[in-house]
Amino acid sequence: MSTSQVLLPTLRKECLSEALGTYLLVFFGPASVIVTSASSLTAFQAQETIAVVFGFIVAVVITSLGGISGAQINPAVTVAIGAARRLPKGRFVPYVLSQITGALFAGLSLRLAFEHAGTATSLGSTRLASSVSPLEGTILEIAGTFVLALSALSAGSFLRTNLTHGIIVGATLFVLITLIGPLTGASFNPARSLGPSLFSGYFNDQLVYYIGPILGGLAAGLIFTKISESKGALVI
């Protein structure tokens, strides 16, 4: 039996893990945006509820699926891990395609579940506040993704259990959404923005949520590598 025949089932399992994890994030996260927008919660209460849902889902997915693929569930995080040279060979394209696939199925599910209720929020699409320009939004998304990806890299490298890894990354996302959510919607994840946007037809300023996170993830991966090299801890 060839090496490729041995690795193929493993890769399929990892890709399924990435697709499923991304699906759960991109469905339940935006669903919380839709539901809270129709509730009587104050703006602050709604924002905190959304932050809790996103953080909780990320923590659960990493805890349950982290042992399979690392539960990256975010193309920007995959870029960061790849730039840090900690992504197994041949995984980058399959992982990103799996994440996009999960996001698209989540977008379709949101459309089917909230066809009318989701109109006001464009199925929970990420939007810039009226006071935030596309350039400012891109910078905020770069900064937020940088912190999130650096958190994921650090937790994945230095923490022994998926539970603690999930808690750290989930808590980081919660804080970031609390701080940046009112300004950009706090995507930090191209897949999270793609699903709702595509199936609601909302495309305003969406390049912010693709360019910003990818640049933020790339910067995090490169800087993490430099820090590792300076400490003599680079793992290839």
**Which one, of 64, 86, 234, lies nearest residue 149 by Cα?**
86
User: Looking at the predicted structure, is the pLDDT value of residue 56 above 50?
Assistant: yes
Q: What is the pLDDT of residues 182-194, one digit of tens each?
A: 999 999 999 999 9
One DSSP character per residue, 75-107 reads HHHHHHHHHTT-SPTT-HHHHHHHHHHHHHHHH
Q: Do the Cβ atoms of 77 and 148 come closer than 8 Å?
A: yes
Domain boundaries, the chain: 3-230
What would the pLDDT profile of 166-215 be if each residue is shown by its tens digit? Answer: 999 999 999 999 999 999 999 999 999 999 999 999 999 999 999 999 99
Dist CA 223 CA 166 (whole Å) = 22
Mean pLDDT over 76-103 rounds to 96
- Give the dihedral sign, CA 149/153/154/155: positive
SS3 26: helix
Structural class in CATH, domain 3-230: mainly alpha
User: What is d(CA 55, CA 58) in angstroms, rounded to the nearest whole number?
Assistant: 5
Residue type, 191: A
Section 84-93 average pLDDT: 93
3-class SS shares of the chain: helix, strand, coil, % to 5: 75, 0, 25
Are 157 and 149 within 8 A, CB to CB?
A: no
* Helix extents (H) in 114-207: 134-158, 162-184, 190-200
pTM: 0.92
User: Contact at 8 Å (CB) between 177 and 99?
Assistant: no
